[in-house]
Structure formats: structure tokens, C-alpha cells
Structure 1
Amino acid sequence: MKNSLKNIDLLSLIQQKYDNFSKGQKLIANYISNHYDKAAYVTAAKLGEIVGVSESTVVRFAIELGFDGYPKLQKVLQELIKSKLTSVQRIEVSSNRLNEDNILKSVLQSDMDKIKITLEQIDTNKFNEIVETILESKRIFILGVRSSAPLASFLGFYFNLIFDNIRLVHTTSVSEMFEQIIKAQPGDVVIGISYPRYSKRTIKALQFAKDQGVKTIAITDSAESPVAQAANQYLLARSDMASFVDSLVAPLSLLNALIVEIGMRRKNDVYNTFEKLEKIWDEYDVYEKDDYRDEKL
């Protein structure tokens, strides 16, 4: 299991190995099982202090579970809480991580960090492969629900200006989602967007489309997420929680880059579309004119 974080049910693993742990390791196991939301964001030394054991005991506990060290265990814990924490627990955890004297600065700095990490970790080859998949597709289905719905709408809005074959899937149930993507066929692509807590509807729809031979693309936060596992291809953008709110700044920036890249590949079509739209917008007085400001002066 070393160096692999995929498909690990950490809490079950701890229970399986519990009887073989030392007395100190059992204290750690009990704390993590009951307070994994808090354990995910403390150092090995702090965790040892909380349960009354040495830092080295905490490190040995991680190794006993099959990890290379405590940081790997901590990373799995952080992945675990993304999908398991309730909104109330999220508020409790984030209260310990945010500077409550300056929430504005803390959140903006956190969002900047997420974009920076996303930029450092993005796989350019995968990005280019996904661009080609989208450009070669006959039809493009886009789905995202709950907090990811605005991201799907943003992508759908701009893709509608580039392509003639966009289907933004609006849904309030799993059955409705299947009804809207059932016509997807090989040669089409389904793009599913989901961030913690991951939507079962999106996961099931991606898996359904994939099983039908339709190409699927996930936009999510981790290669280990169930959304990425249900897709043929995926792009990752960092999204850690800020209180009960999911930060979607980095995902939005990633979608922006995807739209711009595809727009550049379809530059002539986009130019012609906007040329026609500008005439329509002007004729039907869609946007405020610059001369409005002049009249006010």
C-alpha cells in the first residue's frame, strides 16, 4: 500500500489492524477514529501530545498502517474529511484554521494559495489531451449540481458561444440526470464537475456514460476522488473548504483556461460569432452605452 492513496478506507483499515497495535498506538487509533476531522490538521507532535504518546509513536503508527510516514497518513485524513464531514463539522474545523480577526484576508490568501498549488500541479499534457477530446466530440454534455452547478453553467455559457452541440444538464434527481444523458453516444463527451462533498448524481451519471462507451471528463480536486475514478480523463484544481463554503476559485480559473484555450483553437468561429452578437446587442440595446456616462457629466 505504500506510496498509494487510492481506494483506501482509512477508518476500516484502522479497525482491521486494531488488535495488533501497541497500547500507545491504540490511543492514536481511537482518537483518529472518533476525531478524524481534528486529527487531519495537526502535526505528529501535536497529535502525540493530545493522546499522551511521543511523536515517534505517532510516526510508527503511520508506518504500521503502511504509509511512508505521518505526512502521507495526514494527506489521506484530509481527503477523508472532504467527503465525510457535515456542514456543522466543517464550521468547527475551519474555525481553528482561519484568522477570525481578519476573515477577509485569510480567505483571499487561502484562495490565492489554491490557485498557486493548482498551477504548480496541473498536468499540461492531460490538459491538452482533454482540449483535443472536446474539440473532436460530436456533442458535449456538461453536468454539475449543488455548489458545482455555477461552474457547469459558466462552462456551458461560453461553450455555447463556441460550439453548436452543447447540452447543459439541469437536474434535481438521479433519474432526471440519466434521462438527459441517455442519448449520449460514442463520439460524444460528458463533462462532470464535482467537488467535496462529491455528488452521487454526478458520479453515477459519469459512470453510466462511461459504461455506454461515451468519453467522460471529470473536473475535480483529486485523482483519488470518486468523480475522477468514474471518468476516462480528469483535470484537477485545488478546492479546500473555507468554513461551510467550498472554495471554487481555482476550479473557476481552470475552466477559464480551458475555455480560452479552446476559443483560441476556434478563433475564426469565435470571431464571427461575436461579430454577429455585437450587432444584435447593439440593435436590441442589451448593454449600457458609453455615452450614458457622458450624459450624466
Structure 2
Amino acid sequence: MSAVATMPAVRGKLTPNAPLAPLVWFKSGGSAEWLFEPSDAEDLVQFLRQIESDMPVMALGLGSNLIVRDGGVRGVVIRLGKPFAKIERVDEVTLRCGGGASGILVSSTARDAGIAGLEFLRGIPGTVGGFVRMNGGAYGREVSDILVSAKLALRSGDVEEWPADKLGYTYRHSEVPEGAVVLEATFRGIPGKPDAIGAEMDAIARAREESQPLRSRTGGSTFKNPPGHKAWALVDAAGCRGLTIGDAQVSEKHCNFLLNLGSATSADIEALGEEVRRRVKAKSNITLEWEIQRVGTE
């Protein structure tokens, strides 16, 4: 499967054995068998139609909520760049956003258009594709509150527009099929004043800066909040604040964040997370679920 001749011609960039560590926030992990950066949606769709039907496909956004295991990722990792970051205003309160657009770009565009209700996206360090797939949320709101529909390139290369109710949203979960890529999403807010929207976004940015280790090599929120609990408080109560394995550490600033202090492997980071889960279970009898996606082979 590693021979270049087995892959279709593309207009974008197709790289074999591509290191993924530089593309993810933890700065750890192995390589992708193939990394494809399509030039546009048609390039992506044709590629999906032509590759072997059993070849695994995984979309990669900003790599913020992701552990790439040290053995790397089989198949194709698809990274949506600038051609997929366009945002179009549909009506007074609706935006159509490319799958590669960041939360900051979407919320800023909404602010400038006088669309309120999307401010929380300022607090999600990812792309539209990632937070549509994961029902990303922050500060009391989540994507399911604002999503009208999502356009998906399925693994087969078929393109379908799914209404929000077909995505089967629950907490940090959707029914986006495996191997599908979110091409676009349509979000709807409510009318608002740009100054007030901007003030809310600034408040969110300040709160994140004060409470989260944003300038570190981290993966964002590690564990989902169990019903009726805050994950960070359970981790803290179990005595895990500052806990280390190798160069991986539970953040002392916000203990639902794991850090790579410099040379941690993905195995170190994942092992630390599992040790935290073990200690929380022993202390509170609550089983924490990973929010961070873990992919690849060990």
C-alpha cells in the first residue's frame, strides 16, 4: 500500500509517510501512511471515489483534541486547508462555513455580521469539521444548539447534506459516519449588536486564558464531564493535579488538561490519562470517559 503508483492523481498535495506530530497540539506521535491536503471539494471527492474501498480515512483539523499514537496512522489522513475555510452569509442570522474554518474565524465573522449565539465558538480550539463531528461546546452552549445542517463527503465519495437531527447529537458525540469528511456546516444564530457580541467573545477569551494552559503543548479537555460532575474536580479530588509520567503531566492550572512538558511520547500521555482514570475510579467510583480522540497504533 506504500507504493505511490497505487494512489490516484490529485490536484492537491499527497504525501507518503507524513509526520503528524507537527500538526497536533501535543507535538507527539507517529506518521500518517498518507497525508492528503485537497485543493477543493471536487479534488477530495474524486480521491475518495478512486482509492481502495478498504483504505482507512481520517479527517484532521487543528489537531487540538487529539492523541496520535506513536505507531502512526494507517491509510489516509485528510487535512482541510485554506480552500475549506471560506464563510458565506446566507441570511440575516445564518452562516455557511467551510469545514476547515476555525472557531475563532466563525465567531468573528458572526460578530461582524451582527449574529449572536455563536460567541462560544471563540472558546473551541478547533475547526468546523472537528466540532461538528464532536458536538463541540464551551461556556454552556454546544454545536447542536446552532447547527442547521452539515454537508458531508462520505467515505464512498458521495456528498450528502444532513439536517441537524440526522446527526444524532448527544454530549460530545454525533453520528457522522467513520471516514466521512465535513465539507461545510450551516449555523444559525439570532440578531445581535457587534459591540455586545465582541464583548462576550472577549470575556470568553479572558476566561480561557485565566483558567487553561493555552500556551502549553496540550490537547484541550481530556475527559468528558460525567453527569452532575466536573471532570477537573474529580481529577483534583483524586490527587492527580501535577501528576507526571515521563514528560507528560496533569496541568496544575486546570487538571482536566494533560501537558507535554517537552519530550513526552504519545504513550506517556495516554498512560497518564489512564492512570488518572484509575485513580478517579478508586476515589469516587466514577469512570471518566475520554473526550480527547486517540488514533493510530501504539
Choose between structure 1 and 2 for higher RCO, CA contacts under 8 A separated by at least 6 residues. Answer: 2
Does TM, scored on the shorter chain, surpass 0.5?
no
| TM-score, normalised relative to structure 1 | 0.31
| Greater gyration radius | 1
